[in-house]
Structure 1
Amino acid sequence: MSTIRITKQFNFETGHALYGYDGKCRNVHGHSYKLDVTVIGSPISDSSNVKYGMVIDFSDLKKIVKEEIVDVFDHATVFNKNTPHVELAKELADRGHHVILVDYQPTSEMMIIDFASKIKKRLPKSINLFSLKLQETETSFAQWFASDN
């Protein structure tokens, strides 16, 4: 049976700030992120299986990514918890804002590493995460490939 890659794209809005950065992104700001999730596997060959011919049902992949990434990060503000931004995060959270504290600088590069780890843990054993593409702006994105890691 052939090995096939399938991709599903997700969209979410997230704010962040890069503590200690020497440019504009040190300020709290947001992005309309696009996340492409590509998995690899063989289509199910059992014709009695309701998912016959699929590598993974797109709705199953959607459920995993929504629960692990989109529902968590959408309309949240992300800060590195190991910086003074933790004080701002606490004030925002106390005012009812959705704040996520992470143990890394919330750049696209570091977020995509975090996302890869979360998605890989949830995939069925017969399916592997092939790549992720996290697009921050129309012209800027980070990519993660399993073959590089």
Structure 2
Amino acid sequence: METVQKNLLESLAPKLRELNRGGYTRVYRRGGKTYPTEIHALIAEILDSLGSHYATGVQLPKTNLVADFVLENTIILIEKRPGEAERASLLQSGKKCIVIERSKTRSDRLDSGVRVFQVGELDDGRLQTIFLDDPSFNFDYAHILPQTEKCSVMHGHTSSALIEMVGAPKDGMVIDFNDAKPIIREAIREMDHKLFISERYVTGMDATHVNLKFTTVHGDFELRVPKATTLLLEAEATVENLAQELIARIAPKMPDNVRAVGVYVYEGLNKGTHLLAEVHRREGEKRRRTR
């Protein structure tokens, strides 16, 4: 048995050393072709299905970039963000240049992290942050956290929010304050004077009411609450998840040059949370759960 194990280890050792040096590369196969990443394979499949003519692995003149796909009037770069000089050369080429990359920042579990933008749409690549702190961003809410001791009894907070927007300035502005305020106020209004609770405690509902049931350290609770004043969350109704809900209502309405939205949500005085999430355009997947 020891001899078999020794022979097995000796046969594996060279392969393991090669793997440690990067000698093995994961590839994706589609239609008899191999691609370095799943995104490459997906783009190729889309272009093939459209009957598009394209070349791959093309060295772009006056740059150190190798284009992943080149069509008649379009260059596609995957996981390659061009530098300032390279952006200038690409813009002078007269072709549209699309960059596709996977971000490490996700706004929620439904976000794939894939980001697509066109070279030139972000001006010189400079990003700036603006923020709005306004008395009209205050709101009141009640919530229940059955898994905790102190907060497992229904109680309320007077909260306030500070909103920040990160983006590439257009005409000197990330976004006009007068355009941003109505978007934020609408989101705050939708959350004001609501009962927040996780949907996992729902036992039933009808056209006007929601039935809730949960167990805490204080005993069993059963509630029947108006649907119009209840906002159900996927997870527990913590201040962290309220911030996520607020961003989900603000981000899709931001202009295209806004890349990220951040919120500070205060739970009463001297405590709260901060969340910064990249904007991704998923109009059909907004997590609005006012019921």
- Shorter chain as denominator, the TM-score bin is 0.7 to 0.9
- Structure 1 partner of 2:69: none
- Structure 2 partner of 1:92: 225
- The separation in 2 between residues aligned to 1:146 and 1:72, in whole angstroms, is 20
1:113 to 244, 266, 271: 244
Conserved? CA contact 2:188–2:246, under 8 Å: no
- Structure 2 partner of 1:141: 272
SS of residue paired to 1:11: strand
- Structure 2 partner of 1:123: 254
- The separation in 1 between residues aligned to 2:159 and 2:152, in whole angstroms, is 18
**What is the CA distance between 1:134 and its match in structure 2?**
0.9
**What is the CA distance between 1:131 and its match in structure 2?**
2.0
Higher strand share: 2
- The separation in 2 between residues aligned to 1:129 and 1:36, in whole angstroms, is 14
Matched, 1:57 2:173: no
Conserved? CA contact 2:199–2:233, under 8 Å: yes
- Structure 2 partner of 1:7: 131
What code does the residue aligned with 1:4 have?
A: Q
**What is the CA distance between 1:84 and its match in structure 2?**
5.3
- Structure 1 partner of 2:159: 33
Structure number with higher relative contact order (C-alpha < 8 Å, ≥ 6 residues apart): 1
SS of residue paired to 1:82: helix
1:14-36 C-alpha deviation (Å, 9 max, x unpaired): 11111222x22111111111111
- The separation in 2 between residues aligned to 1:114 and 1:84, in whole angstroms, is 19
**What is the CA distance between 1:128 and its match in structure 2?**
2.3
State the structure with more CA Rg.
2
TM normalised by structure 1 equals 0.77
Which stretch shifts more, 25-34 or 114-123?
114-123
Q: CA RMSD in A?
A: 2.5
**What is the CA distance between 1:130 and its match in structure 2?**
4.1
SS of residue paired to 1:146: strand
Runs of 4+ in 1 over 3 A off after TM superposition: none
SS of residue paired to 1:143: strand
- Structure 2 partner of 1:43: 169
CA 1:44–1:25 in structure 2 vs 1: closer, same or farther (change >3 Å)?
same
Structure 2 regions of 5+ residues with no counterpart?
1-123, 204-209, 213-221, 279-291
- The separation in 1 between residues aligned to 2:178 and 2:229, in whole angstroms, is 26
- The separation in 1 between residues aligned to 2:179 and 2:146, in whole angstroms, is 36
**What is the CA distance between 1:61 and its match in structure 2?**
1.2
SS of residue paired to 2:132: strand
1:36-88 C-alpha deviation (Å, 9 max, x unpaired): 1100224332xxxxxxx432121221221222x21111011111121158524
TM normalised by structure 2 equals 0.42
Structure 1 regions of 5+ residues with no counterpart?
46-52
What code does the residue aligned with 1:75 have?
A: H
- Structure 1 partner of 2:195: 77
